[in-house]
C-alpha cells in the first residue's frame, strides 16, 4: 500500500477517534447532569482550588465555606462522589482537547484536501471555545441558556469533525449525486429541519426539568411530567412526525440503491426508534437517572447521522457508492 494511503488512514482514524470521544463526553455530560454533579466543582479549571479534588470534607479549603457556589449559610455543600464525577468529566474533556489537536496536526501533515484541513482547524477552535464555555456553565451557576449553548457548540464540533472526515479522502469531491432530484431533496431537508427543531425543543424541556430538579433536590421524580409546559407536549408529538419522515426518507433513497449507501439512511431511523423508546421510559418511569444521558446522546447522534447523510448525499461521487 502506498505511503500516502497509510498517512491518510492515520489522519482519518484520528478524526474518527475524536468524534467518538466527543459522543462519549456528551454521554458523561448527561451523567453529570442527571446525578446533579454539575456544581461538584465550584471553580474551573481547578476543583475546590486543587488540581486533585478533595475526597473528604476536611480537605476542602476554608474559603469555599463562604463561596455562594459551594455553600449555603456558611455550611459547605460537599459530596465527594459528585465532585469526582464532575472532575472525571473535565479530565475526559482534556483528553478530547489533545485528540482534536492531534487530528489537526495530522491534517496539516497529511490532509489531502484544503477544505478538510479547514474543518480540522474549525474543530480545534470549537473545542477550545467549548472548554471556555464549560467554565461559564460553572460560573453562571448552571444557567439553562449557557448549558444549551454548551450543547449546541458540542453539536457543531461533532459535525465539523464529520465534515473533516468526509473531506479527508482522495476521491473526487464535491460532486452532487442527485442535484436535480427534488423529491429526495425535499424529504432530506424537511427531515433535517424537524430533527433540529426536536433537538431544540428537547433542550427547552431539559431546562424545565432542571428547574424541577433544583426545586425537589433530585427527588420526587414522579411529579415532574405534570409540571412540564406545552414544549414537552410538542416535543413528544413531533417525534411521531420525525419517525414518519424517516420512513419516507428511506423509501426515497431506496429507489437510488445501490448508488446510495442504505446504511446511511437507515442509521438515523434506527436511532430515532431508540430515542423515542428512551423518551417514553423517561416519561412513564419517572426520569430514571441512567436513561437521561442515553436520551441526550441518542438525540445528539441523530443530528450527526443526518448530517453525515447530507454530506454523502450532496457531495459524494456517485461512482464511489456514497460511502466514506
Ligand atoms: C426524534 C425524537 C426526539 C429527539 C430528537 C429528542 C431530543 C431531545 C434532546 C436533545 C433533549 C435534551 C436532552 C438534554 O439536554 O439532556 C431531550 C429532552 C427530553 N425529551 Fe426528547 N427527543 C425526542 C423524542 C422524545 C420523546 C418521544 C419523548 C417522550 C415521550 C421525549 C421526552 C423528553 C424529555 C422528558 C426530555 C427532558 C429529559 C431530561 O430532562 O433529562 N423526547 N430530547
- In this predicted structure, the answer to whether residue 23 has a pLDDT above a threshold of 90 is yes
Protein residue with least CA distance to atom 28, ligand 1: 279
| 126 pocket-lining for ligand 1 (C-beta < 6 Å) | no
| 299 pocket-lining for ligand 1 (C-beta < 6 Å) | yes
Across 110-114, 161-165, 271-275, least confident range = 110-114
Beta carbons within 10 angstroms of residue 45's beta carbon: 13
| 30 pocket-lining for ligand 1 (C-beta < 6 Å) | yes
Q: Which carries the bigger pLDDT value, residue 216 or residue 99?
A: 99
Beta carbons within 10 angstroms of residue 100's beta carbon: 29
- In this predicted structure, the answer to whether residue 260 has a pLDDT above a threshold of 90 is no
Q: How far apart are CA 266 and CA 272, in angstroms?
A: 10
- In this predicted structure, the answer to whether residue 121 has a pLDDT above a threshold of 80 is yes
From the alpha carbon of 292, which atom of ligand 1 is closest?
41
Q: How far apart are CA 159 and CA 192, in angstroms?
A: 13
Q: Which of 225, 226, 237 is nearest to 201 (CA)?
A: 237
Question: How much is the pTM?
Answer: 0.90
Q: How far is the CA of 221 from the centre of ligand 1 (A)?
A: 16
Which DSSP string corresponds to 121-155? HHHHHHHHHHHHHHHHHHHTTS-HHHHHHHHHHHH
Protein residue with least CA distance to atom 13, ligand 1: 296
Instruction: Assess contact for 116 and 15: CB atoms under 8 A.
Output: no
Mention every residue, 6+ apart, whose C-beta is less than 8 A from residue 20: none
Q: How far is the CA of 280 from the centre of ligand 1 (A)?
A: 9
Q: Could you give the 3-state DSSP secondary structure of residue 71?
A: strand
- pLDDT for the residue 317: 52
Pocket test for ligand 1, best of 279, 287, 289, 305 (most atoms within 8 A of CB): 279
| 193 pocket-lining for ligand 1 (C-beta < 6 Å) | no
- In this predicted structure, the answer to whether residue 2 has a pLDDT above a threshold of 90 is no
Grid-cell match 429541519, residue found: 193
- In this predicted structure, the answer to whether residue 50 has a pLDDT above a threshold of 60 is yes
Q: Which carries the bigger pLDDT value, residue 258 or residue 290?
A: 290
| 276 pocket-lining for ligand 1 (C-beta < 6 Å) | yes
Q: Which carries the bigger pLDDT value, residue 116 or residue 62?
A: 116
- In this predicted structure, the answer to whether residue 72 has a pLDDT above a threshold of 70 is yes
Pocket test for ligand 1, best of 146, 155, 205 (most atoms within 8 A of CB): 205
- pLDDT for the residue 102: 97
Protein residue with least CA distance to atom 33, ligand 1: 279
- pLDDT for the residue 246: 96
Protein residue with least CA distance to atom 43, ligand 1: 202
- Strands 71-72 and 75-76, by their bridges, are antiparallel
| 239 pocket-lining for ligand 1 (C-beta < 6 Å) | yes
Protein residue with least CA distance to atom 39, ligand 1: 206
Phi and psi dihedrals of 126, rounded to 5? -65, -35
SS3 content of the chain, % helix, strand, coil (to 5): 75, 0, 25
From the alpha carbon of 293, which atom of ligand 1 is closest?
16
- In this predicted structure, the answer to whether residue 151 has a pLDDT above a threshold of 70 is yes
Q: How far apart are CA 133 and CA 138, in angstroms?
A: 9
Which DSSP string corresponds to 257-306? TTTS-HHHHHHHHHHHHHHHHHHHHHHHTT--TTHHHHHHHHHHHHHHHH
Q: How far is the CA of 214 from the centre of ligand 1 (A)?
A: 19
Locate 212 and state its grid cell: 424541577
Mean pLDDT for the stretch of residues 257-261? 67
| 196 pocket-lining for ligand 1 (C-beta < 6 Å) | no
Locate 130 and state its grid cell: 467549548
CA-CA-CA-CA torsion sign (25, 30, 35, 37): positive
- Please give the helix or strand (H or E) that residue 76 lies within, else none: strand 75-76
Q: How far is the CA of 199 from the centre of ligand 1 (A)?
A: 7
Neighbouring C-alpha atoms within 13 Å toward the C-beta of 228? 27
Q: Could you give the 3-state DSSP secondary structure of residue 204?
A: helix
Pocket test for ligand 1, best of 272, 277, 295, 297 (most atoms within 8 A of CB): 295
Grid-cell match 442527485, residue found: 178
Q: How far is the CA of 202 from the centre of ligand 1 (A)?
A: 5
- pLDDT for the residue 180: 59
Q: Which of 36, 31, 58 is nearest to 48 (CA)?
A: 58
Q: How far apart are CA 256 and CA 265, in angstroms?
A: 11
Locate 139 and state its grid cell: 460560573
Which DSSP string corresponds to 182-217? HHHHHHHHHHHHHHHHHHHHHHHHHHHHHHHHHHHT
Amino acid at each position: 500500500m502506498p505511503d500516502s494511503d497509510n498517512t491518510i488512514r492515520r489522519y482519518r482514524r484520528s478524526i474518527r477517534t475524536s468524534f467518538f470521544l466527543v459522543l462519549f463526553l456528551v454521554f458523561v455530560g448527561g451523567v453529570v447532569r442527571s446525578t446533579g454533579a454539575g456544581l461538584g466543582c465550584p471553580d474551573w479549571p481547578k476543583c475546590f482550588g486543587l488540581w486533585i479534588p478533595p475526597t473528604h470534607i476536611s480537605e476542602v479549603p476554608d474559603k469555599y465555606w463562604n463561596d455562594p457556589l459551594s455553600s449555603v449559610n456558611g455550611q459547605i455543600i460537599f459530596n465527594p462522589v459528585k465532585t469526582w464525577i464532575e472532575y472525571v468529566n473535565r479530565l475526559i474533556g482534556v483528553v478530547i482537547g489533545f485528540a482534536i489537536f492531534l487530528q489537526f496536526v495530522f491534517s496539516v501533515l497529511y490532509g489531502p484536501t484544503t477544505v478538510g484541513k479547514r474543518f480540522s482547524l474549525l474543530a480545534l477552535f470549537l473545542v477550545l471555545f467549548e472548554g471556555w464555555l464549560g467554565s461559564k456553565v460553572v460560573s453562571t451557576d448552571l444557567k439553562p441558556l449557557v448549558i444549551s449553548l454548551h450543547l449546541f457548540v458540542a453539536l457543531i464540533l461533532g459535525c465539523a469533525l464529520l465534515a473533516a472526515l468526509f473531506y479527508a479522502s482522495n476521491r473526487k469531491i464535491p460532486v452532487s449525486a442527485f442535484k436535480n432530484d427534488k423529491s429526495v431533496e425535499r424529504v432530506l431537508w424537511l427531515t433535517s429541519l424537524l430533527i433540529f427543531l426536536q433537538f431544540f425543543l428537547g433542550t427547552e424541556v431539559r431546562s424545565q426539568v432542571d428547574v424541577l430538579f433544583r426545586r425537589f433536590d433530585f427527588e420526587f421524580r414522579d411529579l415532574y411530567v405534570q409540571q412540564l409546559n406545552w414544549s414537552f407536549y410538542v416535543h413528544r408529538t413531533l417525534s411521531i412526525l420525525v419517525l414518519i419522515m424517516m420512513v419516507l426518507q428511506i423509501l426515497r433513497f431506496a429507489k437510488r440503491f445501490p448508488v446510495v449507501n442504505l446504511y446511511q439512511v437507515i442509521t438515523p431511523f434506527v436511532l430515532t426508534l431508540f430515542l423515542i423508546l428512551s423518551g417514553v421510559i423517561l416519561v412513564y418511569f419517572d426520569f430514571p437517572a441512567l436513561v437521561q444521558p442515553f436520551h441526550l446522546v441518542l438525540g445528539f447522534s441523530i443530528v450527526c447521522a443526518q448530517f453525515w447523510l447530507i454530506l454523502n448525499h450532496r457531495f459524494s461521487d456517485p461512482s464511489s457508492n456514497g460511502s466514506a
